[in-house]
Structure 1
Amino acid sequence: MREPMGIHSNAVAAPPQLLLERLKDYGQEDAFALWDELSPEERHLLLNDIQSLDLSRIDRIIRCSLRSQGLPVAAIEPVPESWVSSVDERTMDHKERWWKMGLKAVSEGKLAVLLLSGGQGTRLGSSDPKGCFNVGLPSGKSLFQLQAERILCVQRLAAQAMNEGSVTIHWYIMTSPFTDDATGKFFESHKYFGLEADQVTFFQQGTIPCISKDGRYVMETPFKVRVADPTFLGYFIDKGVAAAAKVVRKAYPQEKVGVSVRRGKGGPLTVVEYTELDQSLASAVNQQTGRLRFC
Protein backbone atom coordinates (compact mmCIF):
# COMPACT_ATOMS: atom_id res chain seq x y z
CA MET A 1 0.00 0.00 0.00
CA ARG A 2 1.10 3.54 -0.63
CA GLU A 3 1.47 5.93 2.23
CA PRO A 4 -0.73 9.02 1.89
CA MET A 5 1.20 12.19 1.37
CA GLY A 6 0.45 15.82 0.65
CA ILE A 7 2.75 18.72 0.04
CA HIS A 8 2.08 20.16 3.48
CA SER A 9 1.76 16.90 5.42
CA ASN A 10 4.33 15.37 7.75
CA ALA A 11 4.74 12.53 5.25
CA VAL A 12 7.25 14.55 3.24
CA ALA A 13 9.50 15.35 6.21
CA ALA A 14 11.35 12.11 5.47
CA PRO A 15 11.12 9.57 2.66
CA PRO A 16 8.21 7.18 3.33
CA GLN A 17 9.72 4.04 4.83
CA LEU A 18 7.74 1.60 2.68
CA LEU A 19 8.81 3.38 -0.48
CA LEU A 20 12.42 3.52 0.68
CA GLU A 21 12.38 -0.23 1.36
CA ARG A 22 10.96 -0.90 -2.10
CA LEU A 23 13.77 1.11 -3.67
CA LYS A 24 16.36 -0.74 -1.57
CA ASP A 25 15.02 -4.04 -2.89
CA TYR A 26 16.15 -2.94 -6.36
CA GLY A 27 19.30 -1.08 -5.32
CA GLN A 28 17.81 2.31 -6.19
CA GLU A 29 17.71 4.01 -2.78
CA ASP A 30 20.04 6.71 -4.14
CA ALA A 31 16.94 8.30 -5.64
CA PHE A 32 16.48 9.88 -2.19
CA ALA A 33 20.15 10.91 -1.81
CA LEU A 34 19.38 14.64 -2.10
CA TRP A 35 16.13 14.55 -0.15
CA ASP A 36 17.29 17.00 2.52
CA GLU A 37 18.09 19.61 -0.13
CA LEU A 38 14.63 19.55 -1.69
CA SER A 39 11.76 21.91 -0.99
CA PRO A 40 8.40 20.43 0.10
CA GLU A 41 7.07 20.89 -3.44
CA GLU A 42 10.12 19.16 -4.97
CA ARG A 43 9.81 16.29 -2.49
CA HIS A 44 6.18 15.86 -3.46
CA LEU A 45 7.10 15.73 -7.17
CA LEU A 46 9.86 13.20 -6.50
CA LEU A 47 7.54 10.96 -4.50
CA ASN A 48 4.88 11.07 -7.20
CA ASP A 49 7.51 10.26 -9.82
CA ILE A 50 8.83 7.24 -7.93
CA GLN A 51 5.37 5.95 -7.00
CA SER A 52 4.37 5.99 -10.67
CA LEU A 53 7.16 3.53 -11.56
CA ASP A 54 6.75 -0.20 -12.00
CA LEU A 55 10.00 -0.96 -10.17
CA SER A 56 9.88 -4.70 -10.83
CA ARG A 57 9.40 -4.27 -14.59
CA ILE A 58 12.09 -1.61 -14.81
CA ASP A 59 14.50 -3.86 -12.93
CA ARG A 60 13.90 -6.66 -15.45
CA ILE A 61 14.52 -4.26 -18.34
CA ILE A 62 17.74 -3.00 -16.74
CA ARG A 63 19.06 -6.53 -16.15
CA CYS A 64 18.22 -7.60 -19.70
CA SER A 65 19.86 -4.48 -21.13
CA LEU A 66 23.04 -4.90 -19.10
CA ARG A 67 23.30 -8.56 -20.13
CA SER A 68 23.08 -7.66 -23.84
CA GLN A 69 25.86 -5.05 -23.78
CA GLY A 70 28.32 -5.81 -26.61
CA LEU A 71 26.46 -8.55 -28.46
CA PRO A 72 28.66 -11.59 -29.12
CA VAL A 73 29.11 -12.82 -32.68
CA ALA A 74 26.77 -15.78 -32.13
CA ALA A 75 23.94 -13.57 -30.86
CA ILE A 76 22.93 -12.10 -34.21
CA GLU A 77 22.93 -13.00 -37.90
CA PRO A 78 22.54 -10.88 -41.04
CA VAL A 79 19.11 -10.73 -42.64
CA PRO A 80 19.08 -13.35 -45.45
CA GLU A 81 19.55 -11.76 -48.88
CA SER A 82 16.55 -13.74 -50.15
CA TRP A 83 14.36 -11.76 -47.74
CA VAL A 84 15.43 -8.43 -49.21
CA SER A 85 13.84 -6.92 -52.31
CA SER A 86 15.68 -4.03 -53.94
CA VAL A 87 13.77 -1.32 -55.78
CA ASP A 88 16.48 -1.25 -58.44
CA GLU A 89 15.85 -4.91 -59.27
CA ARG A 90 12.13 -4.47 -60.04
CA THR A 91 10.60 -3.76 -63.46
CA MET A 92 8.29 -0.84 -64.18
CA ASP A 93 5.44 -3.35 -64.62
CA HIS A 94 5.99 -4.57 -61.07
CA LYS A 95 6.08 -1.05 -59.70
CA GLU A 96 2.97 0.06 -61.61
CA ARG A 97 0.97 -2.98 -60.43
CA TRP A 98 1.99 -2.39 -56.82
CA TRP A 99 1.20 1.32 -57.16
CA LYS A 100 -2.37 0.55 -58.28
CA MET A 101 -2.83 -2.08 -55.56
CA GLY A 102 -1.62 0.42 -53.00
CA LEU A 103 -3.96 3.19 -54.13
CA LYS A 104 -6.89 0.76 -54.11
CA ALA A 105 -6.09 -0.21 -50.52
CA VAL A 106 -5.85 3.47 -49.55
CA SER A 107 -9.25 4.21 -51.10
CA GLU A 108 -10.74 1.32 -49.10
CA GLY A 109 -9.49 2.80 -45.83
CA LYS A 110 -6.92 0.05 -45.28
CA LEU A 111 -3.97 2.36 -44.70
CA ALA A 112 -3.07 4.40 -41.64
CA VAL A 113 0.19 6.22 -41.01
CA LEU A 114 2.05 5.76 -37.72
CA LEU A 115 4.71 8.32 -36.82
CA LEU A 116 6.99 7.72 -33.83
CA SER A 117 7.72 11.22 -32.58
CA GLY A 118 8.48 10.89 -28.87
CA GLY A 119 12.07 12.10 -29.06
CA GLN A 120 13.44 15.58 -28.66
CA GLY A 121 16.07 17.08 -30.92
CA THR A 122 18.74 17.10 -28.24
CA ARG A 123 21.49 16.07 -30.65
CA LEU A 124 20.41 18.98 -32.83
CA GLY A 125 20.69 21.41 -29.94
CA SER A 126 16.97 21.75 -29.21
CA SER A 127 14.41 20.35 -26.79
CA ASP A 128 11.59 20.76 -29.34
CA PRO A 129 10.00 17.74 -31.05
CA LYS A 130 12.07 16.76 -34.09
CA GLY A 131 9.04 17.07 -36.34
CA CYS A 132 8.88 20.82 -35.70
CA PHE A 133 12.32 21.37 -37.21
CA ASN A 134 12.94 23.43 -40.30
CA VAL A 135 15.35 21.08 -42.07
CA GLY A 136 16.83 23.78 -44.27
CA LEU A 137 14.71 23.40 -47.39
CA PRO A 138 14.06 26.52 -49.52
CA SER A 139 10.38 26.18 -48.59
CA GLY A 140 11.19 26.35 -44.88
CA LYS A 141 8.80 23.45 -44.25
CA SER A 142 9.04 21.35 -41.10
CA LEU A 143 9.21 17.55 -41.05
CA PHE A 144 5.61 17.44 -39.79
CA GLN A 145 4.44 19.60 -42.70
CA LEU A 146 6.30 17.52 -45.27
CA GLN A 147 4.65 14.34 -44.02
CA ALA A 148 1.21 15.94 -43.75
CA GLU A 149 1.45 17.17 -47.34
CA ARG A 150 2.51 13.71 -48.45
CA ILE A 151 -0.61 12.24 -46.83
CA LEU A 152 -2.80 14.87 -48.53
CA CYS A 153 -1.19 14.02 -51.88
CA VAL A 154 -1.74 10.27 -51.53
CA GLN A 155 -5.37 10.89 -50.51
CA ARG A 156 -5.92 12.89 -53.72
CA LEU A 157 -4.17 10.30 -55.88
CA ALA A 158 -6.23 7.45 -54.42
CA ALA A 159 -9.49 9.38 -54.84
CA GLN A 160 -8.67 10.17 -58.49
CA ALA A 161 -7.50 6.64 -59.33
CA MET A 162 -10.58 4.98 -57.84
CA ASN A 163 -13.09 7.72 -58.76
CA GLU A 164 -13.87 8.31 -55.10
CA GLY A 165 -15.24 11.60 -53.83
CA SER A 166 -12.79 11.74 -50.95
CA VAL A 167 -10.30 9.45 -49.24
CA THR A 168 -9.01 9.76 -45.69
CA ILE A 169 -5.77 8.38 -44.27
CA HIS A 170 -5.71 8.43 -40.49
CA TRP A 171 -2.45 9.65 -38.95
CA TYR A 172 -1.38 8.30 -35.56
CA ILE A 173 1.44 10.26 -33.94
CA MET A 174 3.20 8.84 -30.91
CA THR A 175 4.52 11.55 -28.63
CA SER A 176 6.03 11.45 -25.15
CA PRO A 177 5.55 13.45 -21.92
CA PHE A 178 8.37 15.67 -23.22
CA THR A 179 6.91 16.37 -26.67
CA ASP A 180 3.14 15.89 -26.40
CA ASP A 181 2.11 19.44 -25.50
CA ALA A 182 4.47 21.12 -27.97
CA THR A 183 3.44 18.75 -30.77
CA GLY A 184 -0.27 19.36 -30.24
CA LYS A 185 0.20 23.13 -30.16
CA PHE A 186 2.36 23.01 -33.29
CA PHE A 187 -0.37 21.22 -35.23
CA GLU A 188 -3.06 23.55 -33.93
CA SER A 189 -1.07 26.66 -34.83
CA HIS A 190 -0.59 25.34 -38.37
CA LYS A 191 -4.23 24.21 -38.73
CA TYR A 192 -3.09 20.60 -39.06
CA PHE A 193 -1.38 21.46 -42.37
CA GLY A 194 -4.63 21.06 -44.29
CA LEU A 195 -5.67 17.75 -42.71
CA GLU A 196 -8.85 17.38 -40.69
CA ALA A 197 -8.19 17.55 -36.95
CA ASP A 198 -10.16 14.34 -36.35
CA GLN A 199 -7.95 12.32 -38.70
CA VAL A 200 -4.90 12.98 -36.53
CA THR A 201 -4.58 11.09 -33.24
CA PHE A 202 -1.84 11.84 -30.70
CA PHE A 203 -0.91 9.27 -28.07
CA GLN A 204 1.95 9.13 -25.58
CA GLN A 205 4.60 6.45 -25.33
CA GLY A 206 5.57 5.06 -21.97
CA THR A 207 8.75 6.19 -20.25
CA ILE A 208 11.20 4.69 -17.77
CA PRO A 209 14.09 6.34 -15.93
CA CYS A 210 17.49 6.75 -17.57
CA ILE A 211 20.08 4.46 -16.01
CA SER A 212 23.83 4.61 -15.60
CA LYS A 213 26.20 1.88 -16.79
CA ASP A 214 25.97 0.23 -13.37
CA GLY A 215 22.17 0.13 -13.51
CA ARG A 216 21.39 3.07 -11.21
CA TYR A 217 18.70 5.64 -11.94
CA VAL A 218 20.05 8.89 -13.37
CA MET A 219 18.21 11.89 -11.90
CA GLU A 220 17.19 14.56 -14.40
CA THR A 221 17.46 17.16 -11.65
CA PRO A 222 17.99 16.83 -7.90
CA PHE A 223 14.47 16.38 -7.52
CA LYS A 224 13.66 9.59 -43.98
CA VAL A 225 11.13 7.23 -45.48
CA ARG A 226 8.38 8.05 -47.97
CA VAL A 227 5.13 8.45 -46.06
CA ALA A 228 2.18 6.32 -47.21
CA ASP A 229 4.00 5.04 -50.30
CA PRO A 230 1.37 3.30 -52.49
CA THR A 231 4.03 1.21 -54.28
CA PHE A 232 5.42 -0.14 -51.02
CA LEU A 233 1.89 -0.78 -49.74
CA GLY A 234 1.05 -2.66 -52.95
CA TYR A 235 4.24 -4.72 -52.66
CA PHE A 236 3.35 -5.55 -49.05
CA ILE A 237 -0.17 -6.68 -50.03
CA ASP A 238 1.07 -8.61 -53.08
CA LYS A 239 3.55 -10.63 -51.02
CA GLY A 240 0.95 -11.44 -48.36
CA VAL A 241 3.36 -10.83 -45.49
CA ALA A 242 2.49 -9.83 -41.94
CA ALA A 243 5.05 -7.03 -41.79
CA ALA A 244 7.62 -5.34 -43.99
CA ALA A 245 10.19 -2.62 -43.47
CA LYS A 246 11.71 -0.14 -45.89
CA VAL A 247 15.39 0.45 -45.19
CA VAL A 248 18.50 2.06 -46.66
CA ARG A 249 21.80 0.18 -46.59
CA LYS A 250 24.56 1.49 -44.35
CA ALA A 251 27.04 3.62 -46.25
CA TYR A 252 30.09 2.67 -44.17
CA PRO A 253 30.85 0.59 -41.05
CA GLN A 254 30.94 3.50 -38.58
CA GLU A 255 27.69 5.12 -39.76
CA LYS A 256 25.58 5.78 -36.67
CA VAL A 257 22.35 4.06 -37.66
CA GLY A 258 20.43 1.02 -36.46
CA VAL A 259 20.79 -2.25 -38.37
CA SER A 260 18.23 -4.94 -39.22
CA VAL A 261 19.40 -8.39 -38.05
CA ARG A 262 18.17 -11.82 -37.01
CA ARG A 263 18.35 -12.37 -33.29
CA GLY A 264 20.16 -15.70 -32.91
CA LYS A 265 20.44 -18.50 -35.47
CA GLY A 266 17.13 -18.72 -37.29
CA GLY A 267 15.62 -16.24 -34.84
CA PRO A 268 13.21 -13.34 -35.39
CA LEU A 269 14.08 -10.13 -37.19
CA THR A 270 14.92 -7.17 -35.01
CA VAL A 271 16.86 -3.92 -35.06
CA VAL A 272 20.03 -3.33 -33.07
CA GLU A 273 21.56 0.06 -32.42
CA TYR A 274 25.01 0.82 -33.78
CA THR A 275 26.21 1.03 -30.17
CA GLU A 276 25.34 -2.66 -29.72
CA LEU A 277 27.42 -3.88 -32.66
CA ASP A 278 30.93 -5.06 -31.93
CA GLN A 279 33.48 -3.37 -34.22
CA SER A 280 34.32 -6.66 -35.90
CA LEU A 281 30.64 -7.21 -36.73
CA ALA A 282 30.13 -3.65 -37.94
CA SER A 283 33.08 -3.99 -40.35
CA ALA A 284 32.41 -7.56 -41.54
CA VAL A 285 31.94 -7.93 -45.32
CA ASN A 286 29.77 -10.43 -47.20
CA GLN A 287 32.27 -12.09 -49.54
CA GLN A 288 29.58 -12.91 -52.13
CA THR A 289 28.05 -9.44 -52.44
CA GLY A 290 30.98 -7.28 -51.37
CA ARG A 291 28.63 -5.34 -49.09
CA LEU A 292 28.65 -5.07 -45.31
CA ARG A 293 27.18 -8.17 -43.66
CA PHE A 294 25.19 -6.01 -41.25
CA CYS A 295 23.79 -3.15 -43.30
Structure 2
Amino acid sequence: YNIGLTKDVYIFEMLINNLMDVVNQSGTWVPLYIMTSEKNNDDTIKFFEEKNYFGYNKNYVDFFVQEMAPAASFEGKIYLEDKDRVSTSPNGNGGWFISFVNAGLAKKAKEAGVEYINVFAVDNVCQRMADPCFVGAMIDGGYRSASKVVSKATPEEKVGVLCLEDGKPSIVEYYELTEEMRYQKKEDGDLAYKYGVILNYLFNMEDLEKNLNSNLVVHVVKKKVPYINEAGEKIKPETENGYKFETLVLDMVHMMDNCLAYEVVREKEFAPIKNKTGVDSVDSARELLKLNGVEL
Protein backbone atom coordinates (compact mmCIF):
# COMPACT_ATOMS: atom_id res chain seq x y z
CA TYR A 1 0.00 0.00 0.00
CA ASN A 2 1.37 3.38 -1.06
CA ILE A 3 0.83 6.17 1.50
CA GLY A 4 2.94 8.77 -0.27
CA LEU A 5 1.57 12.15 -1.36
CA THR A 6 4.32 13.63 -3.55
CA LYS A 7 6.32 10.40 -4.00
CA ASP A 8 5.98 6.65 -3.48
CA VAL A 9 6.13 5.66 0.20
CA TYR A 10 5.10 2.08 0.94
CA ILE A 11 4.13 0.56 4.29
CA PHE A 12 6.78 -2.16 3.92
CA GLU A 13 9.31 0.53 3.04
CA MET A 14 8.62 2.35 6.32
CA LEU A 15 9.03 -0.86 8.32
CA ILE A 16 12.30 -1.68 6.56
CA ASN A 17 13.57 1.87 7.21
CA ASN A 18 12.79 1.48 10.93
CA LEU A 19 14.57 -1.87 11.04
CA MET A 20 17.56 -0.34 9.25
CA ASP A 21 18.00 1.96 12.27
CA VAL A 22 18.74 -1.15 14.35
CA VAL A 23 21.06 -2.56 11.67
CA ASN A 24 23.00 0.71 11.60
CA GLN A 25 23.15 0.93 15.41
CA SER A 26 24.25 -2.68 15.91
CA GLY A 27 26.35 -3.22 12.81
CA THR A 28 24.56 -6.51 12.06
CA TRP A 29 21.64 -7.61 9.91
CA VAL A 30 18.50 -8.67 11.77
CA PRO A 31 16.70 -11.71 10.31
CA LEU A 32 13.27 -10.62 9.02
CA TYR A 33 10.48 -13.16 8.61
CA ILE A 34 7.40 -12.03 6.69
CA MET A 35 4.19 -14.01 7.06
CA THR A 36 1.99 -14.01 3.98
CA SER A 37 -1.14 -15.94 3.03
CA GLU A 38 -1.61 -18.28 0.12
CA LYS A 39 -3.69 -15.51 -1.45
CA ASN A 40 -0.92 -12.88 -1.46
CA ASN A 41 2.38 -14.77 -1.10
CA ASP A 42 3.52 -14.60 -4.72
CA ASP A 43 2.52 -10.93 -5.05
CA THR A 44 4.36 -10.00 -1.84
CA ILE A 45 7.59 -11.73 -2.88
CA LYS A 46 7.37 -10.17 -6.35
CA PHE A 47 6.84 -6.73 -4.80
CA PHE A 48 9.95 -7.07 -2.62
CA GLU A 49 12.01 -8.24 -5.58
CA GLU A 50 10.80 -5.32 -7.73
CA LYS A 51 11.72 -2.86 -4.96
CA ASN A 52 15.09 -4.56 -4.35
CA TYR A 53 13.98 -5.28 -0.75
CA PHE A 54 14.06 -1.50 -0.08
CA GLY A 55 17.81 -1.78 0.46
CA TYR A 56 17.64 -4.61 3.02
CA ASN A 57 19.97 -7.58 2.64
CA LYS A 58 17.72 -10.18 1.00
CA ASN A 59 19.78 -13.02 2.47
CA TYR A 60 18.25 -12.11 5.82
CA VAL A 61 14.64 -12.03 4.61
CA ASP A 62 12.39 -15.12 4.56
CA PHE A 63 8.74 -15.40 3.56
CA PHE A 64 6.41 -18.05 4.94
CA VAL A 65 2.75 -18.82 4.29
CA GLN A 66 0.21 -18.74 7.09
CA GLU A 67 -2.04 -21.76 7.42
CA MET A 68 -5.71 -21.45 6.53
CA ALA A 69 -9.01 -22.30 8.23
CA PRO A 70 -12.43 -22.88 6.64
CA ALA A 71 -15.17 -20.25 6.86
CA ALA A 72 -18.82 -21.06 7.64
CA SER A 73 -22.20 -19.44 7.19
CA PHE A 74 -24.21 -18.25 10.19
CA GLU A 75 -26.20 -21.51 9.83
CA GLY A 76 -23.01 -23.55 10.19
CA LYS A 77 -22.68 -24.57 6.53
CA ILE A 78 -19.27 -24.54 4.86
CA TYR A 79 -18.92 -21.98 2.05
CA LEU A 80 -17.28 -22.76 -1.28
CA GLU A 81 -14.99 -20.17 -2.85
CA ASP A 82 -14.81 -22.18 -6.07
CA LYS A 83 -16.72 -25.17 -7.41
CA ASP A 84 -14.05 -27.53 -6.16
CA ARG A 85 -12.63 -25.53 -3.25
CA VAL A 86 -13.79 -24.82 0.29
CA SER A 87 -13.72 -21.13 1.28
CA THR A 88 -10.78 -20.55 3.63
CA SER A 89 -9.06 -17.61 5.28
CA PRO A 90 -5.84 -17.13 7.28
CA ASN A 91 -6.20 -18.73 10.73
CA GLY A 92 -5.52 -15.55 12.72
CA ASN A 93 -2.22 -14.00 13.80
CA GLY A 94 -1.95 -16.57 16.61
CA GLY A 95 -1.18 -19.15 13.91
CA TRP A 96 2.13 -17.49 13.10
CA PHE A 97 4.42 -19.80 15.12
CA ILE A 98 3.07 -23.15 13.92
CA SER A 99 3.30 -21.81 10.35
CA PHE A 100 6.83 -20.57 11.11
CA VAL A 101 7.81 -24.03 12.40
CA ASN A 102 6.19 -25.89 9.50
CA ALA A 103 8.08 -23.68 7.04
CA GLY A 104 11.37 -24.83 8.61
CA LEU A 105 12.18 -21.31 9.80
CA ALA A 106 12.29 -22.10 13.55
CA LYS A 107 15.08 -24.58 12.82
CA LYS A 108 16.85 -22.06 10.58
CA ALA A 109 16.51 -19.30 13.21
CA LYS A 110 17.96 -21.48 15.98
CA GLU A 111 20.88 -22.51 13.76
CA ALA A 112 21.52 -18.79 13.16
CA GLY A 113 21.63 -18.20 16.93
CA VAL A 114 18.27 -16.44 17.22
CA GLU A 115 17.05 -16.55 20.85
CA TYR A 116 14.21 -14.03 20.74
CA ILE A 117 11.44 -13.37 18.25
CA ASN A 118 9.80 -9.95 17.96
CA VAL A 119 6.27 -10.32 16.53
CA PHE A 120 4.76 -7.14 15.10
CA ALA A 121 1.75 -5.97 13.09
CA VAL A 122 2.37 -4.95 9.51
CA ASP A 123 -0.23 -2.16 9.47
CA ASN A 124 1.58 0.15 11.92
CA VAL A 125 3.88 2.35 9.82
CA CYS A 126 5.71 3.67 12.91
CA GLN A 127 6.34 0.19 14.27
CA ARG A 128 9.85 -0.29 15.67
CA MET A 129 11.00 -3.87 15.90
CA ALA A 130 14.15 -5.45 17.41
CA ASP A 131 14.48 -2.16 19.32
CA PRO A 132 17.70 -2.56 21.39
CA CYS A 133 16.19 -0.83 24.46
CA PHE A 134 13.07 -3.04 24.30
CA VAL A 135 15.10 -6.24 23.95
CA GLY A 136 17.58 -5.09 26.60
CA ALA A 137 14.84 -4.23 29.10
CA MET A 138 13.30 -7.70 28.74
CA ILE A 139 16.63 -9.50 29.18
CA ASP A 140 17.84 -7.23 31.99
CA GLY A 141 14.57 -7.65 33.90
CA GLY A 142 14.60 -11.43 33.54
CA TYR A 143 11.23 -11.44 31.75
CA ARG A 144 9.98 -14.31 29.59
CA SER A 145 8.01 -12.01 27.30
CA ALA A 146 7.46 -8.31 26.69
CA SER A 147 4.87 -6.11 25.04
CA LYS A 148 5.10 -2.57 23.78
CA VAL A 149 2.18 -0.54 25.11
CA VAL A 150 0.83 3.00 24.93
CA SER A 151 -1.28 4.82 27.50
CA LYS A 152 -4.87 4.75 26.26
CA ALA A 153 -5.98 8.04 24.75
CA THR A 154 -9.48 7.61 26.20
CA PRO A 155 -11.22 4.86 28.22
CA GLU A 156 -13.21 4.03 25.08
CA GLU A 157 -10.20 3.56 22.76
CA LYS A 158 -10.48 0.31 20.83
CA VAL A 159 -7.26 -1.39 21.91
CA GLY A 160 -6.64 -4.50 23.97
CA VAL A 161 -5.16 -3.86 27.43
CA LEU A 162 -2.34 -5.68 29.19
CA CYS A 163 -3.21 -6.94 32.67
CA LEU A 164 -2.86 -9.90 35.03
CA GLU A 165 -5.31 -12.81 35.00
CA ASP A 166 -4.94 -15.45 37.71
CA GLY A 167 -1.40 -14.20 38.31
CA LYS A 168 -0.32 -14.56 34.68
CA PRO A 169 -0.02 -11.88 32.00
CA SER A 170 -3.09 -11.51 29.85
CA ILE A 171 -4.63 -9.19 27.28
CA VAL A 172 -8.27 -8.22 27.47
CA GLU A 173 -9.74 -7.09 24.16
CA TYR A 174 -11.55 -3.75 24.21
CA TYR A 175 -14.92 -5.39 23.49
CA GLU A 176 -14.41 -7.75 26.45
CA LEU A 177 -13.94 -4.95 29.00
CA THR A 178 -16.95 -4.40 31.24
CA GLU A 179 -18.16 -0.82 31.76
CA GLU A 180 -16.75 -0.97 35.30
CA MET A 181 -13.30 -2.10 34.10
CA ARG A 182 -13.24 0.43 31.26
CA TYR A 183 -13.61 3.45 33.58
CA GLN A 184 -12.03 2.04 36.75
CA LYS A 185 -9.30 4.26 38.20
CA LYS A 186 -6.40 3.79 40.60
CA GLU A 187 -5.71 6.02 43.58
CA ASP A 188 -3.43 8.27 41.49
CA GLY A 189 -6.27 8.93 39.03
CA ASP A 190 -4.82 6.80 36.21
CA LEU A 191 -7.01 4.23 34.49
CA ALA A 192 -6.67 0.81 36.14
CA TYR A 193 -6.53 -0.72 32.65
CA LYS A 194 -4.46 1.94 30.92
CA TYR A 195 -1.85 0.10 28.87
CA GLY A 196 -3.08 -0.52 25.34
CA VAL A 197 -1.14 -3.10 23.31
CA ILE A 198 0.11 -2.18 19.82
CA LEU A 199 0.81 -5.74 18.62
CA ASN A 200 4.54 -5.67 19.21
CA TYR A 201 5.54 -8.65 21.35
CA LEU A 202 8.87 -10.17 22.27
CA PHE A 203 9.08 -13.89 23.01
CA ASN A 204 11.83 -16.30 24.00
CA MET A 205 12.22 -19.06 21.39
CA GLU A 206 12.45 -21.71 24.14
CA ASP A 207 9.04 -20.74 25.53
CA LEU A 208 7.47 -20.69 22.09
CA GLU A 209 8.67 -24.22 21.38
CA LYS A 210 7.62 -25.42 24.83
CA ASN A 211 4.08 -24.16 24.22
CA LEU A 212 3.89 -25.28 20.60
CA ASN A 213 1.35 -27.99 21.27
CA SER A 214 -0.73 -25.96 23.72
CA ASN A 215 -4.20 -25.22 22.45
CA LEU A 216 -4.85 -21.56 21.74
CA VAL A 217 -8.38 -20.23 22.15
CA VAL A 218 -10.24 -20.18 18.83
CA HIS A 219 -12.04 -16.85 18.35
CA VAL A 220 -15.20 -16.88 16.23
CA VAL A 221 -15.32 -13.66 14.22
CA LYS A 222 -18.11 -12.32 12.00
CA LYS A 223 -16.70 -11.43 8.57
CA LYS A 224 -17.63 -10.85 4.93
CA VAL A 225 -16.97 -14.21 3.26
CA PRO A 226 -16.85 -14.31 -0.57
CA TYR A 227 -18.52 -17.48 -1.86
CA ILE A 228 -20.12 -19.27 -4.78
CA ASN A 229 -23.92 -19.50 -4.73
CA GLU A 230 -26.08 -22.40 -5.88
CA ALA A 231 -26.06 -21.03 -9.44
CA GLY A 232 -22.25 -21.12 -9.48
CA GLU A 233 -21.95 -17.33 -9.36
CA LYS A 234 -19.19 -15.66 -7.34
CA ILE A 235 -20.69 -13.43 -4.64
CA LYS A 236 -18.76 -10.71 -2.84
CA PRO A 237 -21.00 -9.73 0.12
CA GLU A 238 -21.46 -6.13 1.22
CA THR A 239 -22.23 -7.12 4.82
CA GLU A 240 -21.05 -9.80 7.23
CA ASN A 241 -22.43 -13.17 6.19
CA GLY A 242 -20.42 -15.77 8.04
CA TYR A 243 -17.86 -16.79 10.63
CA LYS A 244 -14.11 -17.07 10.40
CA PHE A 245 -12.16 -18.97 13.02
CA GLU A 246 -8.97 -17.37 14.28
CA THR A 247 -6.33 -17.76 16.95
CA LEU A 248 -4.71 -14.57 18.25
CA VAL A 249 -1.12 -13.84 19.19
CA LEU A 250 -2.32 -12.02 22.31
CA ASP A 251 -3.41 -15.39 23.75
CA MET A 252 0.23 -16.54 23.52
CA VAL A 253 1.12 -13.88 26.10
CA HIS A 254 -1.08 -15.70 28.66
CA MET A 255 1.09 -18.80 28.19
CA MET A 256 4.15 -16.94 29.46
CA ASP A 257 5.21 -16.73 33.12
CA ASN A 258 5.45 -12.94 32.99
CA CYS A 259 5.39 -10.03 30.57
CA LEU A 260 7.16 -6.68 30.65
CA ALA A 261 4.83 -3.76 29.88
CA TYR A 262 7.17 -1.48 27.91
CA GLU A 263 5.53 1.89 27.39
CA VAL A 264 6.44 3.81 24.24
CA VAL A 265 5.54 7.28 23.01
CA ARG A 266 2.33 6.92 21.03
CA GLU A 267 3.17 9.67 18.52
CA LYS A 268 6.49 8.00 17.71
CA GLU A 269 5.49 4.33 17.52
CA PHE A 270 1.75 3.90 16.98
CA ALA A 271 0.31 4.85 13.59
CA PRO A 272 -1.91 1.93 12.51
CA ILE A 273 -3.74 2.02 9.19
CA LYS A 274 -7.06 0.24 9.66
CA ASN A 275 -9.68 2.64 8.31
CA LYS A 276 -10.10 4.82 5.21
CA THR A 277 -10.68 7.98 7.22
CA GLY A 278 -10.80 9.20 10.83
CA VAL A 279 -9.19 7.34 13.72
CA ASP A 280 -6.37 4.90 12.82
CA SER A 281 -6.63 5.78 9.14
CA VAL A 282 -4.31 6.61 6.26
CA ASP A 283 -4.80 10.31 7.08
CA SER A 284 -3.94 9.97 10.78
CA ALA A 285 -0.88 7.83 9.95
CA ARG A 286 0.34 10.43 7.46
CA GLU A 287 0.04 13.16 10.10
CA LEU A 288 2.14 11.16 12.58
CA LEU A 289 4.76 10.35 9.94
CA LYS A 290 5.07 14.05 9.10
CA LEU A 291 5.41 14.78 12.83
CA ASN A 292 8.33 12.34 12.87
CA GLY A 293 10.03 14.06 9.95
CA VAL A 294 9.11 11.58 7.24
CA GLU A 295 8.75 13.18 3.83
CA LEU A 296 5.63 12.03 2.01
- TM-score class, shorter: 0.3 to 0.5
Higher helix share goes to which structure? 1
TM-score (norm 1): 0.45
TM-score (norm 2): 0.45
Structure whose residues are more often strand by fraction: 2
The structure that has the greater radius of gyration is 1
